[in-house]
Structure formats: structure tokens, C-alpha cells
């Protein structure tokens, strides 16, 4: 490999197991914090903005999960449309999201759904609206620890097919397409935005590329949605999500996703057929 290759791309052996495993970290956290053995719900949510959890807590619909042994976050359980969910809030950015994803799947999660705020790149309609992220442009670091370099990471195709006709009746539109995942939201320059537009990318966010790379490498089921809520502050009255800061619409999106997954009655992994 060339000496000019950056460290993040050097000495990667993707087929090698990590010596530092989430199961080991959780074991020690349980010991130190006197947390009992137990599992999290089989379907869990990442709520980077925290608005979904805030709404659930304000209406007394979420309770703290007693078995979650993460050092950095709290996990709450709630029920919606007859389905039990776990939810972790405010895990913003690729590395934090994947750290939590590793721990969730080590704790009993079988499907992880992420609903993250995003900025509009390709003008299509006025925010807010949702995007089911089919592929994510890898302009972050975490994904390169899980998969060799490439332009995009992808949702599992079987999951994408499963969700094909799931959202047609929702109040808020759900598009499908590409997102740009960045580690540095305040470095979204005009040139970078124009490049993303030229690639047909719809929105910019901070987690999807890493979560999909993790899902493929670790053979886990992950679905990423972008809640397009803003034009990066370049218009007046931006960052408006809708009723209850968008939490109602997000739950209406999450519920049918979970039901389709449950009705499939089969394991999904992260491999891209």
C-alpha cells in the first residue's frame, strides 16, 4: 500500500475478528453497575435527535429498560400498535451509532431502525418528508473499519423488497434514494453539495453509511430513514419537523416497518444479494 494512503485505510483485515467485543464490554458494565442479565426488545430504534423519546416520556409511554448495560446511554422500552420497541436517543454520528448498534445486537436486538434528521440536497419537495435510504455515500470514517473502500454502502436488498409498498398510506411522504453520510456537518461546502447533487443524492445525514456497512459486515438487519427537516439553515423558519417535533410521523413510519419485518418470519442479515 502506498505511503500516502491515510491510516484509516491501512492494515485493515476485514476477515479478522475484533479482540474487543461488545459482549465483553457489556459483561464488565453489568458487573460494575450491578445490572441484571436480560435482553432488550427484538426491535430497537436509534433516535439521534431525541425527539421521539422526549415525546414518549412526556406522555408516560416509555419506561427504562433494566437490562441495558451501555456505559454511555439509556435504553427505554415502549409499546406502539401492539409492538414492543426499545429506543436509544441522542447517539449522533457514525461512530456513536455503530457503537450502540453493536451493543444492541449483542443484547438481543434483531432489527435496528434509525430515524435521523437530514438536510435536503436535491430539491424535490418542501420539508419535512422521509427518505428510506437505499444507499449511503461513505464520506465518514466508521464504515471503513467494517468494509473495504467503495463509494456507497447499501441496505439489504431483501429488506428493501420487503418494504416496497409499505408506506403508501402514510401522511408524510416517504421517498427512496441515496443519502450522503458525513462526519462533519459544518463542512458541507458549496462544492461538496454540488458533487452530492451530481450523484443524485437526496439528503445529507450522519449515520447511514456506517450503519449499513456494519449491517453487511456483521450480518445484521438495519433500516435507515432520513427525516428531511431542513435546508441547512439557509432559509427562514428551517428545521421544522411537524407535530410533536416529528415524533408522531416517525412512529407512523416505524410501526409498519416493524410489522413487515415480523410478518416475514425469517432472519435477515446484512449481506447484499
Express each pLDDT in 212-269 by its tens digit: 999 999 999 999 999 998 765 455 444 556 554 668 899 999 999 999 999 987 777 6
Sign of CA dihedral 151, 147, 155, 211: negative
Q: What pLDDT is recorded for position 265?
A: 72
Q: What pLDDT is recorded for position 127?
A: 78
Q: What pLDDT is recorded for position 271?
A: 61
Q: Which residues, in sequence order, are bridge partners of residue 205?
A: 181
What percentage of residues in the chain have a pLDDT greater than 70?
90
Q: What is the pLDDT of residues 239-253, one digit of tens each?
A: 556 554 668 899 999
Q: What is the pLDDT of residues 157-180, one digit of tens each?
A: 999 999 999 998 888 889 999 999
Q: What pLDDT is recorded for position 173?
A: 86
Place of cell 431525541: 50
Q: What is the pLDDT of residues 115-142, one digit of tens each?
A: 999 999 987 677 789 999 999 999 999 9
pTM, to two decimals: 0.93
CATH for 21-264 is: 3.40.50.1580
Q: What pLDDT is recorded for position 237?
A: 45
Q: What pLDDT is recorded for position 268?
A: 74
Q: What pLDDT is recorded for position 242?
A: 57
Q: What is the pLDDT of residues 62-114, one digit of tens each?
A: 999 999 999 999 999 999 999 999 999 999 999 999 999 999 999 999 999 99
Amino acid at each position: 500500500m502506498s505511503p500516502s494512503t491515510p491510516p484509516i485505510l491501512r492494515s485493515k483485515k476485514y476477515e479478522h475478528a475484533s479482540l474487543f467485543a461488545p459482549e465483553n464490554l457489556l459483561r464488565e458494565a453489568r458487573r460494575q453497575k450491578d445490572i441484571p442479565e436480560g435482553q432488550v426488545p427484538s426491535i430497537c430504534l436509534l433516535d439521534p435527535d431525541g425527539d421521539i423519546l422526549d415525546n414518549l416520556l412526556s406522555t408516560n409511554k416509555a419506561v427504562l429498560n433494566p437490562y441495558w448495560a451501555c456505559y454511555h446511554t439509556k435504553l427505554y422500552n415502549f409499546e406502539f400498535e401492539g409492538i414492543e420497541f426499545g429506543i436509544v436517543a441522542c447517539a449522533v454520528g457514525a461512530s456513536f451509532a455503530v457503537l450502540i448498534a453493536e451493543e444492541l445486537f449483542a443484547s438481543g436486538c434483531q432489527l435496528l431502525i434509525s430515524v435521523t434528521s437530514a438536510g435536503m440536497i436535491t430539491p424535490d419537495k418542501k420539508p419535512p418528508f422521509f427518505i428510506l435510504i437505499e444507499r449511503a455515500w461513505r464520506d465518514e470514517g466508521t464504515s471503513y473499519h467494517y468494509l473495504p473502500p467503495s463509494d456507497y454502502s447499501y441496505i439489504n436488498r431483501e429488506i428493501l423488497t420487503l418494504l416496497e409498498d409499505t408506506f403508501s398510506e402514510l401522511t408524510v411522504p416517504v421517498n427512496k434514494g441515496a443519502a450522503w453520510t458525513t462526519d462533519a456537518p459544518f463542512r458541507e461546502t458549496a462544492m461538496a453539495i454540488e458533487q452530492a447533487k451530481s450523484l443524485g443524492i437526496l439528503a445529507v445525514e450522519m449515520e447511514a453509511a456506517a450503519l449499513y456497512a456494519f449491517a453487511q459486515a456483521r450480518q445484521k438487519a438495519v433500516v435507515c430513514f432520513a427525516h428531511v427537516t431542513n435546508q441547512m439553515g439557509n432559509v427562514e423558519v428551517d428545521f421544522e419537523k411537524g407535530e410533536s417535533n416529528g415524533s408522531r410521523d416517525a412512529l407512523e413510519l416505524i410501526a409498519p416497518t416493524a410489522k413487515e419485518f415480523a410478518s416475514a418470519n425469517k432472519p435477515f442479515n446484512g449481506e447484499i444479494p
